[in-house]
Amino acid sequence: MTHLRRFQLFITVSIILFITACFPSNNSAKKEVLLQGRTMGTTYNIKVIATPEQVETLKLHQKIDTVLKQVNQAMSTYIPSSEISRFNQSESLEPMKISDGFARVLKESIRLGELSSGKLDITVGPLVNLWGFGPEQRPETVPNEDVLASTRARIGLKNLHLDGNKLSKGIPNLYVDLSTTAKGYGVDVVAELIEENGFGNYLVEIGGEMRLKGFKHTGELWAIAIEKPILDPSGEQRAVHQVIIPKDNAVATSGDYRNYFEADGQRFSHIIDPDTGKPINHNLISVTVIHPSSMTADGLSTTLMVMGAEQGMAFAVKNDIAALFISKTEYGFTEQFTVKFKQYLK
């Protein structure tokens, strides 16, 4: 009997937890102003070091919601009228004029796709859907080889052409999915907005992707705790694994323990290896990347996750990436990091 189960948020919901100092505010009137909300099917948490009056006068919270709405309206595959959805629905091979933001995310995603020889592939969406992880939410069964082969024929960056703000497809049924970089881009856009409004000390987090700058209101640098993944279905157990001080950078984590399904005792990740057309199947549990751009960190963490610990580590060293790999072993967990990551360890 086929036994299918879906585990959403199976282990600890997020391996990242902020270390928030609960110090009383010091002499200056500046505090940690917390702005929260929902976007991209997840939550956001933003901390700006400012006076509440400044944030209020500048209408910062409304401005943040407005830019995030714009990002969604351009890049969400869950919104049928978004730019990306209209591109995906169209079978025309004629170029479509796209917004600057959408072009910026596509350009960086394509660059990372080429750099990784196709391991990061934003056209992999039909395979994500086939395995039941996309907006179509198909039944979670293991697809047969014929369906897999015909779906794989629709994949590949060679079928996507970006020329400035003009985007076109090489085959009518190409489908673009920016889940690996759009969330990070949202973080970058919010960080840029906060800076434009005159604030130099902040932490922006959307669904686990974050970018920080400057200092907390206590005068200390922002510190982030990367939690040890615990195989605990209740998600109640948490243990601090490693504290990092990322300085003025973004931190992104990709992991296959958060979203997967099981069939006949085998785990199927939501991350697809474009070279096989199948979900990744290796011992790498999570990858954390530190980079000035959240969009790049987001894309790179998934890229390294697709590659696995060995190939990922070699790629990170070669491309000078600050990366931390946590892998499962017979006895528990093991971690590896690049020299570039080492400087951020506390």
Pick from 186, 274, 308, 312: which binds ligand ADP (CB under 6 A)? 274
Q: Are 257 and 109 in contact (CB under 8 A)?
A: no
Distance, CA of 303 to CA of 56 (rounded, Å): 39
Angstrom CA distances, 277 to 121, 123, 129, 158, 260, stand at 11, 12, 12, 16, 16
Distance, CA of 151 to CA of 72 (rounded, Å): 26
Pick from 298, 305, 306, 315: which binds Mg ion (CB under 5 A)? 298
Quick one: which of 197, 248, 179 has its CA closest to 58? 197
Distance, CA of 205 to CA of 191 (rounded, Å): 10
Angstrom CA distances, 307 to 87, 113, 310, 315, 339, stand at 29, 12, 8, 9, 19
Choose between 55 and 316: whose C-beta lies nearer to Mg ion. Answer: 316
Choose between 294 and 302: whose C-beta lies nearer to ligand ADP. Answer: 302
Binding to ligand ADP (CB under 6 A): which residues in 197-256? 254
Stretch that binds ligand ADP, among 54-62, 138-146, 268-276, 289-297 (CB under 6 A): 268-276
Rg (CA), the chain: 20
Both structure tokens of 327: 């892998």
Estimate the crossing angle of helix 309-318 against helix 294-307, to 10 degrees: 140
Quick one: which of 124, 151, 334 has its CA closest to 228? 334
Angstrom CA distances, 302 to 32, 122, 217, 286, 297, stand at 31, 11, 33, 9, 9
Stretch that binds Mg ion, among 115-123, 187-195, 260-268, 295-303 (CB under 5 A): 295-303
Stretch that binds ligand ADP, among 60-68, 82-90, 172-180, 226-234 (CB under 6 A): 172-180
Choose between 101 and 118: whose C-beta lies nearer to ligand ADP. Answer: 118
Query: Out of ligand ADP, Mg ion, none, which partner does residue 305 contact, by CB within 5 to 8 A per kind?
Result: ligand ADP
Query: Out of Mg ion, ligand ADP, none, which partner does residue 217 contact, by CB within 5 to 8 A per kind?
Result: none
Least distance from ligand ADP to the Cβ atom of residue 27, Å: 40
Query: Out of ligand ADP, Mg ion, none, which partner does residue 129 contact, by CB within 5 to 8 A per kind?
Result: none
Distance, CA of 167 to CA of 98 (rounded, Å): 7
Site string for Mg ion, 79-118 (x = CB under 5 A): ----------------------------------------
Q: Are 285 and 333 in contact (CB under 8 A)?
A: yes
Binding to ligand ADP (CB under 6 A): which residues in 114-133? 120-122, 124, 128, 133
Choose between 95 and 135: whose C-beta lies nearer to ligand ADP. Answer: 135
Number of residues that bind ligand ADP (CB under 6 A): 19
Both structure tokens of 193: 């907005």
Binding to ligand ADP (CB under 6 A): which residues in 299-318? 302, 305-306
Pick from 32, 83, 108, 177: which binds ligand ADP (CB under 6 A)? 177
Residue 44 sits in the site that holds ligand ADP (CB under 6 A):
no
Stretch that binds ligand ADP, among 135-143, 189-197, 298-306, 328-336 (CB under 6 A): 298-306
Least distance from Mg ion to the Cβ atom of residue 144, Å: 29
Query: Out of Mg ion, ligand ADP, none, which partner does residue 270 contact, by CB within 5 to 8 A per kind?
Result: ligand ADP
Both structure tokens of 308: 């696995």
Angstrom CA distances, 301 to 54, 90, 119, 315, stand at 35, 30, 12, 12
Q: Which residues are at the interface with Mg ion (CB under 5 A)?
A: 298
Q: Which residues are at the interface with ligand ADP (CB under 6 A)?
A: 120-122, 124, 128, 133, 177, 179-180, 254, 258, 270-272, 274, 298, 302, 305-306
